[in-house]
Amino acid sequence: LRSCSPGQTRRTNASRRACLIARFGDIYAQERLDAETLLRTYISDMETVQRIIYIAAVESFHAAKMAYRQFKIRVRETLSLGHSGPESLEDTVLDYIVRHEDLYDVQASVNEVIRSMNISPKISFPPEIDFIVISTLIRELCRVAFSMQTLAPPLDIAFGTDGELFSETKYHRSFDSDFTAALVAYHVWPALMENDVVIVKGEAVTKR
């Protein structure tokens, strides 16, 4: 019965996936550049600006995934009390989350991201800089990351470390890269992944 009556969420999975991938690309093209412009008014060093934005992206996905897990636990606990089918409890939970994504407390995630950035050992900044100036970017990343957790399978970003071997399948090189260098100096934007397969390439700077 379940296989004949999949949840609405399962049926719309492909279209939602396409929309979320497109939105991730839009954030890269628009909100990321807006954040870059804002930060450049405080910080002259472009590398520092790009590192801040990359860490904001990584922390946004982390915060949104944590929030999703907690949200899902609460929904499952509530719905399990009166669940009778015909859909599985898991499908019913997922349907509920997709229909009520507006209940996601995105501001709490934004605050969590800013807290994490303030103690990140990878970025230093003048004391007059408050990362709240890029909260629009952080908010949009948290929203898209949260929604990506409702897909089957969910989408996530690739884990990147400074000094890793540059991967042509995972990243584009930034225009100011040394195109003969084999190692990543730092990341500009994360790659988007599905089950360890690259869906959208990220961006990295390679230098000798």
pLDDT digits (tens, 9 = 90+) for 10-34: 678 899 999 999 999 999 999 999 9
Cα separations (Å) of 132 from 181, 195, 205?
A: 35, 32, 26
Higher-scoring residue by pLDDT: 95, 152: 152
The per-residue pLDDT for 3 is 33
Candidates 163, 167, 170; CA nearest to 186 is 163
pLDDT > 70? residue 8: no
pLDDT in tens, 193-205: 999 999 999 999 9
Indicate left, alpha or beta for 201 from its phi (over 0: left) and psi (-120 to 50: alpha): beta
Beta-strand relationship, 202-206 and 171-173:
parallel
pLDDT band with cut points at 50, 70 and 90 for residue 53:
very high
pLDDT > 70? residue 127: no
What order do you get walking across the sheet with 171-173 strand by strand?
171-173, 202-206, 184-189
Domain boundaries, the chain: 6-154, 158-207
The per-residue pLDDT for 5 is 41
The per-residue pLDDT for 137 is 98
**Mean pLDDT over the full length of the chain:** 89
pLDDT > 80? residue 83: no
The per-residue pLDDT for 85 is 66
Strands (E), 46-191: 155-157, 171-173, 184-189
Q: Please report, rounded to a whole number, the percentage of residues in the chain having pLDDT higher than 90.
A: 68
pLDDT > 70? residue 135: yes
The per-residue pLDDT for 4 is 34
pTM for this model (two decimals) = 0.89
The per-residue pLDDT for 102 is 83
pLDDT in tens, 148-183: 999 989 999 999 999 999 999 999 999 999 999 999
